[in-house]
Copies of this chain bind each other. A is one copy, B any other.
């Protein structure tokens, strides 16, 4: 007997309008199953689900969804209902979700929220996503340096419920002006006499970052030191947040993931098949249309040599092979360069190193592939010259492709263009042009033998 898929059960429960059983059912699902089931509801059922749940329940559910899905849901409902849900999320998740919604809708939602919360959220929304400000949480512990150890312990005890999700390995210590002057490790608290001021047991002059520190600086910092979090200060050295190690790990993962997606032509954020139809189609098309222009540019080389192909029609069979194989070889070099660049093992001006390392490898691989394809061409038509043309062209173009593929990401990086986004199309266009030119010009020079 097959069990009914969770989304269908959920849809039936929503149709029944029975709040308690919907909430009970969602409660039993893991975050993954929730995301799955909710993404499968049609738009109408999904809005009815949101209306059926209390704001607190809806907020709990949103936390289980990928960011892009959660924002989509919040953008769909009216600002008042959205505000009631959003204000129940932790501050950093409010910012993550609102950050993906058009700003006029964000304003409408924030206007419905309690002013104090709205002010904090607005403040955080101003920071760019991949900076200390955009990555920090406002949920951290901080005490003035004159607080007694006993009072800190009492505060922890009193608020243990609201601190539940805090990173509490450290508390940050400020002076009367709110400037960061120290960090207090929990274990030091454990060992200190209860009537000391925490200023006496804190570690002074802790490492800190400024609010506009970029992600790569934070990645370096967390690699260099093994701490779990780092305090964030504004330009006046006032403590305004803390970046946790896990936020950096997540940002790194997102960076790699976005590279992968852009490399495959999924631009401007993740696409899920539950995203709105026209947005999906238009975003894909936005990538395909420039590509068709580049392709036509490359193929125009073939148009120049039509007479050569006419005279040796077998060449038409090998043109797409050489185009595709050069693309494959070049992409390997692109991927290695993108990785090395992102790890800092390669600097954007080190063309020489890439050329030196790729040239011998490209020569060797080109020879192997060229001999392979040349032999096959020879065996197929029994024509040595055809084998020579095809093999030589592939060998030479493989070498060219890895040199170009290895250096295009460096070139794009120094132009401040995202290598993952543009390397593929640039590489393909150039290697296709070179490949077609090589095959056809060599063929033309020995046309009487083909």
Q: Which residues of B contact A319 (CB under 8 A)?
A: 316, 319-320
List the B residue with the shortest CB-CB distance to A164: B226
Chain B CB within 8 A of A176 CB: no
Please determine whether B187 and A160 come into contact, CB atoms closer than 8 angstroms.
yes
Instruction: Mark each residue of chain A from 25 to 52: 1 if its CB lies under 8 Å from any CB of chain B, else 0.
Output: 0000011100110010000000000000
Please determine whether B246 and A332 come into contact, CB atoms closer than 8 angstroms.
no
Chain B CB within 8 A of A299 CB: yes
**Interface band, chain A:** 35 or more
Please determine whether A260 and B256 come into contact, CB atoms closer than 8 angstroms.
yes
Chain B CB within 8 A of A3 CB: no
Chain B CB within 8 A of A428 CB: yes
A253 interface neighbour in B31, B256, B332, Cβ under 8 Å: B256
A residues 335-365 in Cβ contact with B at 8 Å:
335-336, 339-340, 343-346, 353-354, 357-358, 360-361, 364-365
Please determine whether A339 and B270 come into contact, CB atoms closer than 8 angstroms.
yes
List the B residue with the shortest CB-CB distance to A285: B365
Instruction: Mark each residue of chain A from 274 to 301: 1 if its CB lies under 8 Å from any CB of chain B, else 0.
Output: 1001001100110111011001101110
Please determine whether A261 and B296 come into contact, CB atoms closer than 8 angstroms.
no
Shortest Cβ gap from A380 to chain B (Å): 8
Please determine whether B334 and A264 come into contact, CB atoms closer than 8 angstroms.
yes
| Secondary structure type dominating chain A contacts | helix
Chain B CB within 8 A of A87 CB: no
Please determine whether B260 and A263 come into contact, CB atoms closer than 8 angstroms.
yes
A249 interface neighbour in B169, B189, B253, B357, Cβ under 8 Å: B253
Query: What's the Cα separation between A300 and B314 when bound, in Å?
Result: 11
Please determine whether B224 and A31 come into contact, CB atoms closer than 8 angstroms.
yes
A260 interface neighbour in B259, B266, B343, Cβ under 8 Å: B259
Please determine whether A321 and B336 come into contact, CB atoms closer than 8 angstroms.
no
A271 interface neighbour in B32, B280, B336, B428, Cβ under 8 Å: B336
User: Which stretch (A73-81, A98-106, A126-134, A302-310) binds chain B?
Assistant: A302-310
Instruction: Mark each residue of chain A from 394 to 428: 1 if its CB lies under 8 Å from any CB of chain B, else 0.
Output: 00000000000000000000000000000000001
Shortest Cβ gap from A218 to chain B (Å): 12
Question: Assuming A260-B263, A265-B332, is B299 touching A321 (CB within 8 A)?
Answer: yes
Shortest Cβ gap from A350 to chain B (Å): 10
Shortest Cβ gap from A244 to chain B (Å): 10
Shortest Cβ gap from A104 to chain B (Å): 28
A191 interface neighbour in B156, B273, B365, B368, Cβ under 8 Å: B156
Contacts A169-B169, A303-B380, A320-B323 aside, 20 further interface pairs with beta carbons under 8 A come to: A30-B224, A35-B344, A160-B187, A186-B186, A186-B187, A186-B190, A249-B250, A263-B263, A263-B264, A264-B331, A271-B336, A273-B336, A273-B340, A273-B353, A273-B358, A285-B368, A289-B368, A295-B324, A298-B321, A299-B320
14 contacts between A and B (CB under 8 A): A66-B345, A186-B186, A249-B249, A249-B253, A253-B253, A264-B332, A266-B332, A288-B325, A289-B369, A292-B372, A298-B321, A319-B320, A320-B320, A323-B323
